[in-house]
Structure 1
Amino acid sequence: MIKKIKSIGNLAVFKGFEWDSNVRNNGGAADTFKDINIIYGRNYSGKTSLSRIIRALEMGRISDKYNNPEFCVKFSDKEVTQNNLTSHGKKIRVFNEDFIKENLKFIVHQDDGIQSFAILGENNNIVETEIQTIEDELGKKEQGQETGLYAKRVQVISSYDDAKIVWDNAKRALDKQLSDKATDRKNGIKYQSERFGDQNYNVQKLSNDIREVLSESYKELSLEEIEQFRKLSLEKALDEFSIIELPKIRLSNFVEKTEKLVAKKISSSNKIEELVKNAILNRWVNEGRSYHKDKLSNCAFCGTLISEERWKELDRHFDKESKILEDDIDSLIVDIESEKKSFSLLKVDKSKFYSKFHKTLDIIQTDLEEIIGKYDLILDSLIDQLKERKANILTEKDFINPNKDVEDLKVIWTSYLNIKKESTEFSKQLLNEQKHAKDKLRLNEISNFLEIIKYQDQVANIKALSIKVVENENKKISIDEIISQKEQLIKTKKAELRDEEKGADKVNELLKNFFGHHYLSLQPITNKSGVRFEVIRDDKKAYHLSEGECSLLAFCYFMAKLEDIDTKGSKPIIWIDDPISSLDSNHIFFIYSLINEKIVNNHIFGQLFISTHNLDFLKYLRKVDGKFLNASGKHQNYQKEYFLISRVNDTSKISIMPKYLKEYVTEFNYLFHQIYKCSVIEVIDDSNYITFYNFGNNARKFFEIYLYYKYPDKGMTEETLNLFFDGDNIPALLTDRINNEYSHLCGVFERGSSPVEVPEMQIAAKRIITKLSADREQFIGLLKSVGEDTSNISSASEV
């Protein structure tokens, strides 16, 4: 159903028209088209322009004579513009002058025929029964009222749509999770390149990684591996460094020397016996000797003079051999201590290595400390034996050999050096190694992500839902094919019934039964180009048809064509543009009867539009009414609305028809209302100046009607105007002047180029209204007929 002509721009007399701004009901809300729509407009107001918009929707094209036309027609379910004329999918049939020119060319070129059409032929009961059976199976196609296969298709489409929505939602939800994981600014992998290694990461790359994570070859990382890769991913390139060489291990040399010094014998001749026997006393005396020799002559302990003989005796006891042995012992101890110190400097510095080597370095460090500690104990045992011999320098000792070696120290230090080489090589491959680490961390992250969102469950669910979509889609395709085949079968069978002659008979039937026209008829003529209709009068081709005959024939042709095989049963949107032209009142009534009986009462339309300029026809159209069976099987009235097309200068607009024109359809009521409005206007502005502009014509026509019925023997004359104003010549002359000068110019050409003299027009309008109000009952009736308030009118003097 067409709800409104939403907008029209640059199309004939419609320029910048907006429906919602103009077509408003009494409540101020925008109104819409209904089931039946009556449109009134004077000639040249734009009725045919509207019908051409609707015919463009029927034909899929609009006249190229319009310069960049724009319009928007709003249907119940979509909007159609000049750019998508055929997208509405509705069946539309329009009667206007373009329809006549295209189908009844003989009206313009009398040697041309009339476009033929076929309706269902007679005596084809079997085929018609077959068609009816198929149509019953197909059911009704009207939106919201489908039955049969059409109803089943609606159900299938609904099931398909529901399944697709569920599938779409599930897929969209998973896609959103994947998209966020890949590229979300807060948590997306793309924005964690320092950890996962790809600043250009996207959903496609995530999909590739998911495939790898789900493959059989993928192995999950341990916590230790994760930490290792995490540290590696954060590594900075380290500077080159050197490691001290392992000192030479001199243990065997120290053992050998210690053994010699500890076991060395000192000659006992010239020794002081008591000192030889007492090592402590010997050491004490030797130390005292060093304090006194060449320094003191008396003993610092007892004060006794130390004799020369005693000094010689002591020198013989502490001879050169003993001194040399002591010095050798001291020297060897210093060497051993130096050895200990040099090996104590051997340390593993992890800070100079990449984190991947730290675990191995910890092991090396532990082994190194252990072996160095072992070496220290061996060296300390040698030093202890040397010190013990020195303390008893005169007595040789048995050497205790540690019988241990520390050659493993070389192996450990070699391992350290090898790690250093590996670290140097690793520096060269750091970027590749970090990329590998970040790839591993990224895959681990994705693995955890998939587990959190239950990815495989979602994929399985989406797959199951997609199968349902495909199943429902196949059902949809299947029923569409079935319906299409049956619709095509109907067309094929109807083609068997095509009968152009019956099309002509249908037009003749309407001409005869509704108009009693026995003189004109259509006759099918077959030639090389097919079948054409010719207009026949007195068994001969008719020429020079009157305008009224052309109008009758054209409309009967249109009505008959509503029963052609392309239209019948489709309940189209029907637009009839001003079918009344040069027809007498009888024919006007028959046109109305034909519309009411054949279209409305037979319910062959989906929506009906009728436009006219004729007030008599408009009066009949008020009676167009009817009921239809709704989806519940109950009778329901067609909704009906009235519209007015009005033109000011070169621009037209559509509005709701005024009550007086809709309910009291006579020109007399309209003219009275225009005079009344002129009499009561207080301020002249753009919204009402037209009332004064048209006052001359309106007043003249009003008096022609009013005075004709009051003085049927004279009509409107100077005498009857004086009689109307009770013999008062002044208002009569004033009114006559306005009627003539302002409606005809009456030879005063400059009047047409001068402003309208509002004061004298309003004076004349007031005098006319005052005179009419003298007949109170008629006056109140006139006011009510045009929707004016009469509650304050009690006498003529109050008007």
Structure 2
Amino acid sequence: MINQIDIASFGSFQGLEWKKTVRDSGKSVKLFQRLNILYGRNYSGKTTLSRIFRALETRKLPLNYIGSSFTVTGEKGAVTDADLLTHNYDVRVYNRDFVTDNLSFLVNQEIGGVIKTFAIVGEQNKEIDDAIAAIEAKLGSVEGKAGLRFDLEAKKRERDRTKTAHSTALSGLEQKLRSHAAEKIKKNPLYRVPVYTIDHIKRDIDSTSKPGFSALTPEEQASKLTLLKQEALPDIEGTLAIILKLESLKATAEPLLSKAITPTKAIEELLKDSALQLWVKQGIGHHRDKRNTCAFCRQDLPHDIWQVLDEHFSKESGDLETALDAAIASVTDEIKSVAGLNTFTGAQFYADERTAFEASSKALSEALGVYEKDLEFLKKSLETRKNNLFQLVILKPPSHDAKEIEKHVQDINALIVTSNGKTRTLEKDKAAAIDALRLADVFEFADAITYDNEVARIATLKTGADTAGTAHTDAEKEIRDAEAEVQNLRAKQKDERKGAERVNSLLNNFFGHDGIKLEARDGADKATVKFEITRNGKAAYNLSEGECSLIAFCYFIAKLEDPESKGKELIIYIDDPISSLDGNHIFFMFSLIESLIAKPIKNADGSNAYRYKQLFISTHNLDFLKYLKRLSIPKKKLPAGEGKTKSTDDHEHFMIERNGASSNILLMPSYLKDYITEFHYLFHQIYKCKDQAAAADSHEPFFGFGNNLRKFLEAFLFFKYPYHDDRNDAFERIKKFFGEEEDTAVALINRLNNEFSHLEAVPDRGFKPVEIPEIAKVANYVLDKIYAADKVQYNALLKSIGEPERVG
């Protein structure tokens, strides 16, 4: 069914928003029901509204409605003006456009208008019936739990289940990917990616799955983070060059250490005591040519001390000592130079090269330490020989590795080249570091959510959903093919002449028109049939508007039985079918709608079956509206708790009104909806005044009591006393009904009947409060008198306004 219509622009409807407009007094939104009655004056927009439904039927907009915009919302989804070709509602509309499209002869009787033929199912053919029955049995039904339709429902459930499972799993994974991409990558200033979507993170995950990718170690991550903070460094000037002199120093020292010398006349005590010999040698420099007294013991030196000592310390030993001093000085210089061989620092290098440089620098320092120890040993050996010139010293082989030192030098020089090169590639290296860190992040995330396993699971679910979807599609096709075969078989039973006969039957049975008929005549080719309107067997022209309306509507009703409509759950819209009809025909039109559309069919179990899915009827005629209130009202079931159900009326009344150039849809006011006639309305207003306490909640009936009482008594007493002697005495009927003996009550009635319903003679009456107790008293008096006079009529009046019958 269709629930509501929102119309942005369509003819006289502009900016209609259903939920803002169609509300009851409690401001609750009301929707279309199964049966819908719409009332509107001429030119209010009734036909315009019907054209929206007609557009659903024809699946195209009417002429001159280009640029229209509307949305029809119902149980089969919403349909906009752009969806007319694809919706699933079966709609049939009777309106002016239906007549123009199908019965153009009625519109243009003098210029060759035609009446389109249609067929309904003709005489039964047992062979075809059996074939149709076999196919229908094969098709089965959901309710019968058998056949292709039942199997299709199961396949549909399986398709929906597998589709939902796949969709849920896929959306769950994609939500995780979107969340990580947006919150952890895009918003992280480290990665510098202003745009990073689910597609980007999927590509990154694919990159981490390729051969050759390895996750970053914590140390590597730390190194790349450090690189990102690194600013460009100046180039490192020069290279490291280390020339080791130990070998040349050793070549100089070895002859000195191994040269043997002897004194001219040795002093045995000195030869035996090298320390003493050194002490004496050092003392010579302090005493020669300076004093003749020993600076240590203060004793006079022997007169031949210098000759004895010169014979012991010969010129040869002096030359050796001098050579040793020179060698020691050279070795000392080399030792001093070792500390300054590596002048580079880690701060000159970029992060990655700094670590390697510091490692190589440390290794170089350790190797140079060994080299320095070899120099120290050489120096010590030279000093040992100098301190004991007459004793030879043997050198041991050096411990340092010159090749190792050279390797460290080359490594440092290579790092200098690399670091200098990084200045030119720093930005590129930073970009690569960012990519590596982002991929490391994505890799950890994918591992945490078991991405590969989830993708495999979703692929399996997709295969299952595709399989179930294919099975459902194949089942649908099989059903469509079977239904098409049924249509083909039924087409063989179609009889267009039966369509004309059905129209004539409706014209005759419901309207008594046996003179005007719709004849099915052979076409010029004898193979086709055409419809023609006849009067007394001859082609009819100059049909009245009323006759055109009767023929058109009977044609519409009969066409509901054609193969394209019969058996379908139809949404039927009937727009003002009583144009140019008199009172009798209006009633018969109502009877036709009630009998063939609205009246339910009884099922075997006593429940009602309806011949329509939803019914809309619009009119401008108040008499027809009065009849429409008598239509069979469909019921709908509502839950009542504990597995039980209750039913309620499934109908609603609406009003279409036009303010200026714009039409609107509203709920029908109660004065039109609830009362069949004004007479019933007036009785209800008087009944409301029987209890004076009711004035506290609703005072309107009390203010209008005088007018309402006067009009009600005029109508009631006219039918009670259609003739009275003095036609100029309106009070005569009141006295006849209420009795001459009750003068006081009758006078009070007459006062209220006249004074309270007129202000012209007593204008001050409009400036005084209403006398509530007096009104209630009169209301009860009148009602009691009617009850006493005719209990059956009184209770019928109560029933018409929804009040319980009066007893006693």
TM-score range, shorter chain: 0.7 to 0.9
- State the Cα distance separating 1:332 from its structure 2 match: 2.2
Paired residue total: 758
Which residue of 308, 326, 330 maps to 2:325? Answer: 330
- State the Cα distance separating 1:639 from its structure 2 match: 3.6
CA distance in 2, matches of 1:305, 1:484: 146
- State the Cα distance separating 1:718 from its structure 2 match: 4.9
Written as runs of structure 1 = structure 2, the 5 A alignment for 1:611-760 is: 611-612=618-619, 613-615=621-623, 618-619=626-627, 621-622=629-630, 624-625=632-633, 639-645=649-655, 653-656=665-668, 658=670, 662=674, 665-670=676-681, 705=715, 708-709=718-719, 712-713=722-723, 718-720=728-730, 759=766
- State the Cα distance separating 1:572 from its structure 2 match: 0.7
1:657-696 Cα deviation digits (max 9, x unpaired): 638954x52232346678999999x99xxx999x99xx99
Which residue number corresponds to residue 406 of structure 2?
413
Residue 525 of structure 1 aligns to which amino acid in structure 2?
A: R
Contact 2:3 / 2:32 at 8 angstroms: preserved in 1?
Answer: yes
Residue 508 of structure 1 pairs with residue 518 of structure 2: no
Residue 480 of structure 1 pairs with residue 476 of structure 2: yes
Which secondary structure does the structure 2 equivalent of 1:122 belong to?
coil
Residue 339 of structure 1 pairs with residue 350 of structure 2: no
Written as runs of structure 1 = structure 2, the 5 A alignment for 1:765-784 is: 775-777=782-784
Residues 293/154 of structure 1: CA separation in 2 closer, same or farther (3 Å cut):
same
Residue 170 of structure 1 pairs with residue 169 of structure 2: yes
TM-score by length of 2: 0.75
CA distance in 2, matches of 1:217, 1:424: 28
Residue 556 of structure 1 aligns to which amino acid in structure 2?
A: C
Residue 665 of structure 1 aligns to which amino acid in structure 2?
A: I
Residue 658 of structure 1 aligns to which amino acid in structure 2?
A: S
Contact 1:626 / 1:637 at 8 angstroms: preserved in 2?
Answer: no
The alignment yields a C-alpha RMSD, in angstroms, of 5.4
CA distance in 2, matches of 1:761, 1:509: 64
Which secondary structure does the structure 2 equivalent of 1:164 belong to?
helix
Moved more, 596-605 or 473-482: 596-605
1:458-511 Cα deviation digits (max 9, x unpaired): 222111111111111111221221122223223323332332211000111222
CA distance in 2, matches of 1:554, 1:420: 106
Contact 2:635 / 2:649 at 8 angstroms: preserved in 1?
Answer: no
Which secondary structure does the structure 1 equivalent of 2:31 belong to?
coil
Residues 300/491 of structure 1: CA separation in 2 closer, same or farther (3 Å cut):
same
Which residue number corresponds to residue 745 of structure 1?
none
Residue 521 of structure 1 aligns to which amino acid in structure 2?
A: K
Which residue number corresponds to residue 24 of structure 2?
24
Contact 1:243 / 1:417 at 8 angstroms: preserved in 2?
Answer: no
Which secondary structure does the structure 2 equivalent of 1:329 belong to?
helix
Which residue of 196, 202, 214 maps to 2:209? Answer: 214
Contact 2:257 / 2:392 at 8 angstroms: preserved in 1?
Answer: no
Contact 2:93 / 2:573 at 8 angstroms: preserved in 1?
Answer: yes
- State the Cα distance separating 1:128 from its structure 2 match: 3.8
- State the Cα distance separating 1:55 from its structure 2 match: 3.0
CA distance in 2, matches of 1:716, 1:185: 96
Which residue number corresponds to residue 490 of structure 1?
486
1:172-193 Cα deviation digits (max 9, x unpaired): 2333344445x33435697543
Residue 610 of structure 1 pairs with residue 598 of structure 2: no
Moved more, 161-170 or 369-378: 369-378
Unaligned runs of at least 5 residues, structure 1: 742-755, 792-799
CA distance in 1, matches of 2:337, 2:685: 127
Residue 645 of structure 1 aligns to which amino acid in structure 2?
A: M
CA distance in 1, matches of 2:130, 2:544: 43
Contact 1:520 / 1:535 at 8 angstroms: preserved in 2?
Answer: yes
1:295-317 Cα deviation digits (max 9, x unpaired): 55544444444576656666676
Which residue number corresponds to residue 122 of structure 1?
123
Which secondary structure does the structure 2 equivalent of 1:517 belong to?
coil
Contact 2:166 / 2:465 at 8 angstroms: preserved in 1?
Answer: yes
- State the Cα distance separating 1:101 from its structure 2 match: 4.0
Residues 99/720 of structure 1: CA separation in 2 closer, same or farther (3 Å cut):
farther
Which secondary structure does the structure 2 equivalent of 1:387 belong to?
helix
Moved more, 437-446 or 160-169: 437-446
Which secondary structure does the structure 2 equivalent of 1:265 belong to?
coil
Residue 654 of structure 1 aligns to which amino acid in structure 2?
A: L
1:536-573 Cα deviation digits (max 9, x unpaired): 22111233444544443333222111111211111311
Contact 2:90 / 2:570 at 8 angstroms: preserved in 1?
Answer: yes
Residues 512/416 of structure 1: CA separation in 2 closer, same or farther (3 Å cut):
same
Which residue number corresponds to residue 256 of structure 2?
260
CA distance in 2, matches of 1:779, 1:162: 68
CA distance in 1, matches of 2:645, 2:249: 128
Contact 1:263 / 1:398 at 8 angstroms: preserved in 2?
Answer: yes
Which secondary structure does the structure 2 equivalent of 1:186 belong to?
helix
Which residue number corresponds to residue 454 of structure 1?
450
Residues 596/619 of structure 1: CA separation in 2 closer, same or farther (3 Å cut):
closer
Residues 595/366 of structure 1: CA separation in 2 closer, same or farther (3 Å cut):
closer
Residue 337 of structure 1 aligns to which amino acid in structure 2?
A: T
Which residue number corresponds to residue 606 of structure 2?
none
Which residue of 392, 412, 423 maps to 2:416? Answer: 423
Which secondary structure does the structure 2 equivalent of 1:74 belong to?
strand
Which residue number corresponds to residue 746 of structure 1?
none
Contact 2:115 / 2:530 at 8 angstroms: preserved in 1?
Answer: yes
Residue 397 of structure 1 aligns to which amino acid in structure 2?
A: Q
1:223-266 Cα deviation digits (max 9, x unpaired): 77777777767765544143453234243444444533663425
- State the Cα distance separating 1:278 from its structure 2 match: 5.3
- State the Cα distance separating 1:575 from its structure 2 match: 2.5
- State the Cα distance separating 1:402 from its structure 2 match: 2.7
CA distance in 2, matches of 1:383, 1:38: 125
- State the Cα distance separating 1:380 from its structure 2 match: 3.9
Which secondary structure does the structure 1 equivalent of 2:264 belong to?
coil
Which residue of 570, 573, 597 maps to 1:572? Answer: 570
Residue 722 of structure 2 aligns to which amino acid in structure 1?
A: P
Contact 1:507 / 1:556 at 8 angstroms: preserved in 2?
Answer: yes
CA distance in 2, matches of 1:491, 1:24: 46
Residue 485 of structure 2 aligns to which amino acid in structure 1?
A: L
CA distance in 2, matches of 1:16, 1:392: 124
Written as runs of structure 1 = structure 2, the 5 A alignment for 1:250-289 is: 250-260=246-256, 263-269=259-265, 279-289=274-284
TM-score by length of 1: 0.76
CA distance in 2, matches of 1:117, 1:84: 28
CA distance in 2, matches of 1:79, 1:45: 26
Moved more, 306-315 or 515-524: 306-315
Which residue of 529, 551, 554 maps to 1:553? Answer: 551
1:567-600 Cα deviation digits (max 9, x unpaired): 1111311223344456566545543443333223
CA distance in 2, matches of 1:9, 1:202: 39
Unaligned runs of at least 5 residues, structure 2: 602-609, 639-643, 737-745, 788-793
Residue 518 of structure 1 pairs with residue 514 of structure 2: yes
Which residue number corresponds to residue 161 of structure 1?
160
CA distance in 1, matches of 2:11, 2:776: 40
Contact 1:577 / 1:611 at 8 angstroms: preserved in 2?
Answer: yes
Contact 1:9 / 1:17 at 8 angstroms: preserved in 2?
Answer: no
Which residue number corresponds to residue 59 of structure 1?
58
Residues 709/264 of structure 1: CA separation in 2 closer, same or farther (3 Å cut):
same
Residues 499/305 of structure 1: CA separation in 2 closer, same or farther (3 Å cut):
same
Residues 252/104 of structure 1: CA separation in 2 closer, same or farther (3 Å cut):
closer
Contact 1:261 / 1:325 at 8 angstroms: preserved in 2?
Answer: no
Which secondary structure does the structure 1 equivalent of 2:184 belong to?
coil
